[in-house]
Amino acid sequence: MTPGAMPRFLLRRAGTALLVMLGTTFVTFLLARVVPANPAVSYLGPKARPDEIARIEAQLGLDQPLPYQYGRYLWDLLRGDWGTSIGTKLPVTDEMFGRLPATLELLLIAMLLACLIGVALGVVAAARQNRFLDHLIRLLAIGGVSVPAFWLGLLLQVFVFGGLGLFELTGRLDPDLEFTDPLREITGFHLVDALLTGHLTALSDAAAHLVLPALTLAAYPIGVIARMTRASMLEILAADHIRAARAYGLRERIVHWRIALRGALPPTTTVAGLTLAYSLTGTFFVEVVFNWPGLGLFASTALLNMDYPVIMGITLFGAAGYVLVNLIVDLVQARLDPRVRLS
């Protein structure tokens, strides 16, 4: 291995990521400053007097040329001043960071489910190629990628909660807990906090609230990951080294779950990462359907209220998440595939 190959690879990817982020700020800036009606009016409300508008415009720098405004916007972003929510009059960053753990918890659990279920389904389908189980799994996978999240969410609510009485319908925690035995927030991740404080009631309650939204959010990635895993497994199972592994007397279980799956991981990771990035948008719908108090729900309220600073902030935040996920995927891929790492 050439020394320094990894850091150079990392630098290159990080450079690209920065460029993408810069591009996004440009777009959010344009969206907020050029597209809408006068932002000063949004701040002051429809009944503002012209002199008030002029004062606010000057204060916001809206009377300056656009490039100057953009520069100032970037500078403010870097300083951590992402504006103030028109709706709540609180700093956008505070609002976002307050809601981030809820979204992250949902997203992480969903992705965990998606990877475990998707990969397992893909491996089993490949091992049973063209048999009943394979057909069933492929059908499920197609369902997962084609059913819209809000519809699947409603279905799960009606049948699993309404019909079977399993799990919880909306929210993150039973509101009664707040009064009887409140959960102390440490990380904002309810599962983690409940574990840390040994609050078992809250733990099971938080889990019960997570299942349905997480499954809804995971459906699409499960479908994509299962299909990708199956396809790469089939390709690898036909390869010489698999025949060799069998010729040396290794068990089918090892051949499938260790050797072939290990080879199928790099493409599967890429796809999992891309769907994770895609699921960032999915949280938006899922949070609305399940009344999950995260960034998605916040964004939908902001959209309805034309709360531009919040919309810009969340767009930027989402983009950063997207870029970060892609960066991580690249790195994981390089770790998993020695040929990528060394080339």
Distance CA 313, CA 24 (A): 11
Give least dist CB 336 to other proteins, A.
Answer: 7
Least distance from C-beta 250 to other proteins, angstroms? 6
- Nearer to other proteins by Cβ, of 30 and 239: the residue is 239
Collapsing DSSP to helix, strand or coil, 163 comes out as helix
For other proteins, the binding residue among 250, 288, 303, 332 (CB under 8 A) is 250
Q: Count how many residues are written for the chain.
A: 343
Nearest to 204 by CA among 196, 195, 216, 215: 195
Q: Does 247 bind other proteins (CB under 8 A)?
A: yes
Pick from 131, 135, 184, 262 the residue near other proteins by CB under 8 A: 262
* Alpha-carbon gap, residue 161 to 182, rounded angstroms: 25
* Residue 244 contacts other proteins per CB under 8 A: yes
What is the full DSSP assignment across 106-125? HHHHHHHHHHHHHHHHHHHH
Does 72 bind other proteins (CB under 8 A)? Our answer is no
**Cα separation, 141 vs 137, whole angstroms:** 6
Residues 265-304, mask of contacts with other proteins (x by CB under 8 A): -x--------------------------------------
- Read out DSSP for 40-84? HHHHH-TT--HHHHHHHHHHHTTTS-HHHHHHHHHHHHHHT---B
Q: Which listed range, 154-162, 186-194, 248-256, 284-292, lies at the site for other proteins (CB under 8 A)?
A: 248-256
- Work out which of 47, 49, 79, 339 binds other proteins, going by CB under 8 A: 339
Q: How far is the CB of 331 from other proteins (least distance, A)?
A: 16
Q: Could you give the CA distance from residue 214 to residue 111 in angstroms, rounded to a whole number? A: 8
Cβ neighbours around 244 below 10 Å, total: 11
Quote the least distance from Cβ 130 to other proteins, whole Å.
10
Compute the radius of gyration of the chain from its Cα atoms: 24
Single out the residue of 318, 284, 293 nearest to residue 150, CA to CA. Answer: 284
- Please say which residue, 12 or 251, places its beta carbon nearer to other proteins: 251
Residue 222 CB, nearest distance to other proteins (Å)? 24
239 binds other proteins per the rule CB under 8 A: yes
The verdict on 245 binding other proteins (CB under 8 A) reads yes
Provide, rounded to whole angstroms, the least separation between the CB of residue 159 and other proteins.
39
CB 109 within 8 A of CB 294: no
CB of 55 or CB of 246, closer to other proteins: 246
Give the residues across from 84 on adjacent strands: 91
Identify the residue whose tokens are 């036909």. 238
CA distance 15 to 106: 30
240 part of the interface to other proteins, by CB under 8 A:
yes
CA distances from 334 to 238, 330, 338 (A): 24, 6, 7
For other proteins, the closer of residues 1 and 34 by Cβ is 1
Binding segment toward other proteins, per CB under 8 A, in 145-153, 171-179, 251-259, 303-311: 251-259
Q: How far is the CB of 127 from other proteins (least distance, A)?
A: 12
Q: Which of 59, 254, 281, 291 binds other proteins (CB under 8 A)?
A: 254
* Residue nearer to other proteins on the CB measure, 34 or 247: 247
Q: How many residues interact with other proteins (rule CB under 8 A)?
A: 24
Judged by the rule CB under 8 A, the positions of this chain that interact with other proteins are 239-241, 243-252, 254, 258-259, 262-263, 266, 336-339, 342
